[in-house]
Structure 1
Amino acid sequence: MSSPEGPVGSLASISIDCPDPDSLAPFYRDLLGLEEVFATPDRGLIALSGAGPMVTLMRVNTYVAPSWPDGPQHKQMHLDVAVDDLDTAVVAAVALGATEAGFQPAGQAWRVLLDPVGHPFCLSTVRPD
């Protein structure tokens, strides 16, 4: 429910923790068709833009990859990427460095993949009406 004055703001970025933003940025750039729009001088933060909110990759020196589907390190969030054809999209994502997860709860509607540092993300043909 929004306030009578409207929202406080709008979603600007989704931040993803990782051990090395320079290594992960090309994966999300190519997966989502984004471009780099900002980076801190030490490249500890890289922002990619071009598809709605920015995707920001942030260095975390103590990063631990999530385990899918069960712990010990549970996922905190994941991205759902809309695609037209699951099989074609999986092949393309794997070519960029993703791996297909062993557990697929609804493989005909969406596929769970892991990015190069272990974050789960879904490729999905399910869209809102």
Structure 2
Amino acid sequence: MPLQMKLGAITLDCPDPPALAAFSQQATGLEPHPKSDADFAALNGEDGLLIGFQRVDAYRAPSWPCQTVPQRLHIYFDVRDDLDDAEARLLGLGASKPGHQPHDEDRARVLTDPTAHPFCLVKR
């Protein structure tokens, strides 16, 4: 019988928690957590899920798609509207688009946040 658990938080390592939280807040519209500071910032997600960003000294950005510095997490975001519009908005906020795109771009795109964490936009 599985444990009765609910995911409560996801935390990303980064060199500048407030900056990555601001990027993520602009991208998702989630509300900043009131106790965010320079070493740990967070956003209040849906259904109580907290998305955190913690300062790591000597942070090494993942090198997706190669694994020289492996990714630690890969997040998927459902896009209800146009993928091209979502991609353009995120690129304008500071995301990047790697040359390697493993999916059909009509249904999914891989981007990286300003600290190189990869994430996917998926048309639902």
Q: Which residue of 2 aligns with 1:103?
A: 100
Measured against aligned partners, the alpha-carbon deviations of 1:74-123 in whole angstroms (never above 9, x if no partner) come to 11111111102211110011111101111101122210001011111111
Separation in 2, partners of 1:99, 1:2: 39
Shift of 1:36: 1.2
| More displaced stretch, 45-54 vs 81-90 | 45-54
**Aligned residue pair count:** 121
2:23 aligned to which of 27, 37, 51: 27
Unaligned runs of 5+ in 2: none
The match for 1:51 among 37, 40, 46 is: 46
Contact 1:15/1:55 (<8 A) preserved: yes
Partner of 2:10, secondary structure, is strand
Q: Distance in 2 between matches of 1:51 and 1:92?
A: 21
> 1: distance between equivalents of 2:56 and 2:6?
25
Greater C-alpha Rg: 1
Q: Deviations over 1:48-93 (max 9, x none)?
A: 0143411100001121100111121011111111102211110011
Q: Which runs of 4+ in 1 moved over 3 A?
A: none
Root-mean-square deviation (CA), in Å?
1.5
- The sequence identity of aligned pairs, in percent, is 40
Q: How far off is 1:39 after superposition? A: 3.1
